[in-house]
Structure 1
Amino acid sequence: MEKEKHFVLVHGTCHGAWCWYKLLSLLKLAGHRATALDLGASGINPKQLNEVSSVSDYIQPLMDFMASLPQEEQVILVGHSYAGFCISLAMESFPRNILVAVFLTAYMPHHKSPPVTLIREFFKRTAEESLLDTQITFQDDLPISVIFGPNYLRTKMYTQSPPEDLELAKMLMRPTRMYMDDFSKEGLLTKSKFGSVSRVFVVCEDDEVMMEEFQWWMIENNPTEEVMMIRGADHMAMLSNPKELCQCLLKVVEKLS
């Protein structure tokens, strides 16, 4: 067996650490350590949305966890969807503690432009009617906060996932801020820090949220060391295709060993 690695799993918008429950078990069964975190006002994190006014507040649990690592420990940091921004900020602050960053159908910013450019590109490609019963709060035409409705979850996000996971998601959704102002700032990411961390992108073929075309657009504009594909996976690959996702992560481990 390969030397034990430590996987740190970071959830996307409106979700929490709970969405990784299948993958956590699989990684541990494979002989590795795995930690899933709740970001601010997410999952069972006690903060409420009005207490998480900045992206720093939102990602504080991740940054506190990274700061707690022994100086010599390196983790495999996995970010799903919106968490691509979150792990990118962790890459900027703790590049030496990250062996590789895995972007699971996630926003993958470039150090040359503010992260907000990706959010704008996503909304430019997304028809308003396709958002269905998603509730988005806008200010000056910019999205402020979002919470996914049950119809959106069923027809866009959990299209290939088991029905029990869809029902779980309906019960556990919490609104998330978008932090457009924070992500509009120049110089959040640098080539010397963020750019020094190896990156892998996992494409989900049947994702109806981050459409495959958008995933490849990000990869082409910001090439990674490796791209992996999970066929038949919806946006929630950790629930629809947990075994395949685990195999992708274990392949990453093999190549690093």
Structure 2
Amino acid sequence: MFVLLGCFLDLRETQLTRGSENLRRMERHFVLVHGVMHGAWCWYKVATLLQSVGHKVTSLDMAASGIHPKQASEVNSYREYVEPLTQFMKALPSHESVILVGHSAGGGCISVAMEQFPEKVSVAVFVAALMPGPNITFAALTKEFIQQLGKAPSNERPDKKLSSTEAVTWHDLSGPYNQLSPPEDVMLSKLSMRPSPSFNDYELFDKQTTFTKENFGKVRRVYIMGDQDMLMKEDFQKWMIELHPPNEFKKIDGSDHFLMFSTPIQLFSCLQDISHKYY
């Protein structure tokens, strides 16, 4: 509570007061997508800040995440996992567009939405996120991420199929990679995280996450990196950026992997800038 109050106090100091008419005129629609084991709850600071200046915010739970009723064992494919987002995008009127924001593995989710609904996405924002595309499959990107973590046992068979949740454990996400986040948010994560579905059928995974140059190129992209991310290393993120250069790159100082916790005001400010430039 005190941390969030501090966010608002800082925000009041850095934002000019706007009248209600101006706020309505500047309204953008942000759709926020979490990473593995997290849920819509992880955006509580950024969502509140965005709403406080007049934006519309939709924060979604992927299947078996947050308060979604399914259990991880009931989600049999990536298509099922990302269905809350694809159904939301499908229901949007054809004349409406949104700003998609994906954190960590949520980058894969928003990439699927970009591919299926490019005309409904004003800009896609990857926040320390996986960024698959036409030049690398999502499955191959996930395997590369696991390898760079150094978590896969060296004596495993070359064809051993590992999921992202086999590489990053519940304990990992609730502590070591939150090194710059407030202790209240680390505790919130420990209390709120759920096991994530595993997608070990890479052939099916690739079929359900195919990205074409035609649709991928229609959507403008911005990549945001934290400068002290210990989970998704800088070299790995730069490698993804080289594979699929975004329209813009931003780096936030003093942030760990969970930018929405460690640097919520700076992330909010970046999203504000992006909305003005690309919406």
> Which residue number in structure 2 is paired with residue 238 of structure 1?
260
TM-score by length of 1: 0.91
Change (3 A) 1:189 1:234: same
> Which residue number in structure 2 is paired with residue 40 of structure 1?
63
1:142-184, Cα deviation, whole Å (9 max, x unpaired): 12462633355311x2111110111111111111124242333
> Which residue number in structure 2 is paired with residue 141 of structure 1?
160
Pick one of 87, 101, 104 that aligns with 2:124: 101
CA distance in 2 between partners of 1:67 and 1:127 (Å): 38
Provide the aligned C-alpha RMSD in A: 2.2
**Unaligned regions of 5+ residues in structure 2, if any?**
1-21
- Most deviating of 10-19 and 109-118: 109-118
TM-score by length of 2: 0.84
> Which residue number in structure 1 is paired with residue 220 of structure 2?
198
- How do 1:193-232 residues align onto structure 2 when only pairs under 5 Å count? 193-232=215-254
Could you say which structure has the higher strand fraction?
1
State whether residues 64 and 197 of structure 2, in contact with CA within 8 Å, keep that contact through their aligned partners in structure 1.
no
CA distance in 2 between partners of 1:127 and 1:210 (Å): 12
**Unaligned regions of 5+ residues in structure 1, if any?**
131-137
Could you say which structure has the higher helix fraction?
2
> Which residue number in structure 2 is paired with residue 184 of structure 1?
206
CA distance in 2 between partners of 1:77 and 1:15 (Å): 17
**Secondary structure in structure 2 of the residue aligned to 1:176:** coil
2:140 pairs with 1:117: yes
State whether residues 99 and 122 of structure 2, in contact with CA within 8 Å, keep that contact through their aligned partners in structure 1.
yes
Pick one of 178, 186, 193 that aligns with 1:166: 186
State whether residues 203 and 229 of structure 1, in contact with CA within 8 Å, keep that contact through their aligned partners in structure 2.
yes
CA distance in 2 between partners of 1:56 and 1:128 (Å): 26
State whether residues 114 and 186 of structure 1, in contact with CA within 8 Å, keep that contact through their aligned partners in structure 2.
no
State whether residues 143 and 162 of structure 2, in contact with CA within 8 Å, keep that contact through their aligned partners in structure 1.
no
Amino acid in structure 2 at the alignment position of 1:184: D
Report the CA distance between 1:187 and its aligned residue.
7.5
State whether residues 260 and 267 of structure 2, in contact with CA within 8 Å, keep that contact through their aligned partners in structure 1.
yes
Report the CA distance between 1:125 and its aligned residue.
1.4
State whether residues 75 and 100 of structure 1, in contact with CA within 8 Å, keep that contact through their aligned partners in structure 2.
yes
Amino acid in structure 2 at the alignment position of 1:86: C
Amino acid in structure 1 at the alignment position of 2:260: M
Which structure: larger Rg?
2
State whether residues 111 and 133 of structure 2, in contact with CA within 8 Å, keep that contact through their aligned partners in structure 1.
no
> Which residue number in structure 1 is paired with residue 171 of structure 2?
150
**Secondary structure in structure 2 of the residue aligned to 1:100:** strand
